[in-house]
Structure 1
């Protein structure tokens, strides 16, 4: 597909696409069924969302440690450890469902977080496996694994759930475990990342090879870092905020679960399908323009959502939401790789992932409350405020960069 893929080391990108597909199959399944299983097992229905919240909290807590672990060990070591914890988590969850233990189920979902955390670095591993000029394309391609998962998961979930009856939801967690186990295969096939074969002589010498790295207090003041992190945070927060509230809003409008599931599936496909060309767009037009287009997609999504409560409005809004997320997430991830040196990547990437997931967790928990208390309109108005901050940070950076260049 791309000329760079002819290079032997770039095979890692294809292996990571497969690993991403297996990971997101586990992730989508857990997001779909953790709340339902929690409701079935909990003595109080109010505790139903605790298992899913534990996954998000655990992911946020372990993103930083996993980044540093990969910095000191290797990407492969971190990915393998994450996958093995995913297998353990799925086994605990399946057994908890089998014996009807809510407490044990919560332990199992908490153990899922490290697997989710480790997989967040697949895209960075892909960018490190190719020349820097192709980093955006590599990041974009890895996200295609989500498209494979979106098409496979609904049928697989139905089959596994049915074949492990009468233990409802036991089968879907067995499926999660199988997906986590299969993710080990492409990881084992990967060429080591960080070996001399993966760096040019320029990378191995000079400032990048000699510096120990700047302190985080200095890096976070970098405007480019702020743009990358702000777009990553805003993109994930807005997407999670609206996506979480959509099924509840559609139910309140009288639509059935099948209708809302189709809307969500369309959203998930829209999140990952643009990955076929997002990297090429960044290479051709520049990352800042793609970030701004992503923000425009978010704005159109919220305007559409506010225009009515028919299925068409929900569907179009969620598709635009998915495309906006893809552009902001891929663009922000690529921009982040330009900020740090090899010595700094563990701390910088770990901080970025922690902030993104912490804010995403807060958004997920807040969306249900805001929807119930204030309604669907306010949900979208809140996201407009988040979008305004991201747009302001991006535009200011573009203008200051342009002024600096013109003054030279």
Structure 2
């Protein structure tokens, strides 16, 4: 691998980004369906809205538990096999979710969602895989392209709720599980894609280049900046916790709004349509403009774009506080929530990558993904209690504290990034 010419290296990077992007399109379908249906299924099977947050908590807990082992596996065996392992766990999880709905067993539902979360750890790792062979001046752009690719599947997932329900009813599937059929097909296709097409492996190639003196600096200065890396991890995990906690409770909040508007006349179609459109807009915000944020992070610097993300997150939470009882207000809040998450995640991931040596990257990337998912799980689990006690606006107020902390600590990231 050390004999790669610059032209061959760039060609390999373009191929890797293409394969990773296609995989994210497919993986986003399962993610979108789980986000939209998980809370509704949890509330239905448990009979308690306060437990609905456990769905998002479970998916993030699964990602948290699997992120570090998956990163270590990637460091030993490469991205190709680690991403494939994530797809296998997601496939098993989808099957268990469908079975739990058929048997109406709430704990089994959580087991299935945890396994989907373990698969989502692989999806999260894809954005770092895009940076393995990226040149420093295009690192944010390449990372953001892979993040953007999730838009297609992530938006399609929620929008497939209604046709998925119709298909599920036609073949006798349990309520609220029909769109998981699309998830099964998409995850299988992603598994085959990674296994066949992600060759040669980008991470193993980068590690081989780093071990060879003549090519060690081809991908940029290999300097360790631990303070900057720690801030990047905090900014990414904090932003994700804000996004996940608010998003987890939005389907329940919208369900209450639909029943409040239509009363007993409200149907499951009314609820799934309102939830599906809102979550689709949110997911579009999460991924749709990520290339813009990637380019800005390359041109302006990583920390300024992280702060741009916090400004949008703050706007989202203030909208939820003051206009959260109106459907339009919730949609605006969820779009801004997605945009803020996108800017912070893209810039923060680029900052973490360039603040770590090639050998340290998989370990820190796994730690970042684990903490990101763990804090989101805690936030989502607590969000159900906050929603029932203080309402949607109260939830926005609590999340705003995290945004302020990320802004206040920003100098730590900027100082180290300038070294």
User: TM-score range with shorter-chain normalisation?
Assistant: 0.7 to 0.9
TM-superposed CA distance for 1:245, in Å, is 3.1
1:362–1:50 CA distance, 2 compared to 1 (3 A)? closer
- What residue is the counterpart of 2:73 in the other structure? 69
Deviates more, 1:15-24 or 1:185-194: 185-194
Is 2:279 the counterpart of 1:264? yes
The whole-number CA distance in structure 2 between the counterparts of 1:118 and 1:195 is: 14
Is 1:271–1:325's contact at 8 Å kept on the other side of the alignment? yes
Q: 1:292 aligns with which of 271, 283, 307?
A: 307
Deviates more, 1:350-359 or 1:108-117: 108-117
Q: How does 1:134-283 map to 2 (within 5 A)?
A: 134-165=138-169, 166-168=172-174, 169-187=176-194, 188-194=196-202, 204-205=212-213, 222-252=226-256, 254=260, 257=271, 258-283=273-298
TM-superposed CA distance for 1:75, in Å, is 0.7
Is 1:29–1:153's contact at 8 Å kept on the other side of the alignment? yes
1:4–1:132 CA distance, 2 compared to 1 (3 A)? farther
The whole-number CA distance in structure 1 between the counterparts of 2:413 and 2:47 is: 51
TM-superposed CA distance for 1:6, in Å, is 6.6
TM-superposed CA distance for 1:262, in Å, is 2.7
Count of aligned pairs between the two proteins: 392
Is 2:361 the counterpart of 1:348? no
The whole-number CA distance in structure 2 between the counterparts of 1:285 and 1:353 is: 25
In the superposition, the TM-score normalised over structure 2's length comes to 0.83
The whole-number CA distance in structure 2 between the counterparts of 1:376 and 1:94 is: 30
Is 2:320 the counterpart of 1:305? yes
Q: 2:401 aligns with which of 385, 390, 394?
A: 385
- Please give the per-residue CA displacement for 1:166-208, whole angstroms capped at 9, x wherever unaligned: 3224533332221110112331212223478657967632896
- What residue is the counterpart of 1:331 in the other structure? 347
Is 1:5–1:11's contact at 8 Å kept on the other side of the alignment? no
Is 2:323 the counterpart of 1:314? no
TM-superposed CA distance for 1:52, in Å, is 4.8
In structure 2, list runs of 5 or more residues that go unmatched. 1-6, 218-223, 262-269
Deviates more, 1:324-333 or 1:131-140: 131-140
- The RMSD of aligned alpha carbons is 3.1
1:396–1:151 CA distance, 2 compared to 1 (3 A)? closer
1:331–1:4 CA distance, 2 compared to 1 (3 A)? farther
TM-superposed CA distance for 1:291, in Å, is 1.3
The whole-number CA distance in structure 1 between the counterparts of 2:332 and 2:138 is: 32
The whole-number CA distance in structure 1 between the counterparts of 2:251 and 2:51 is: 19
RCO comparison, higher one (Cα < 8 Å, 6+):
2
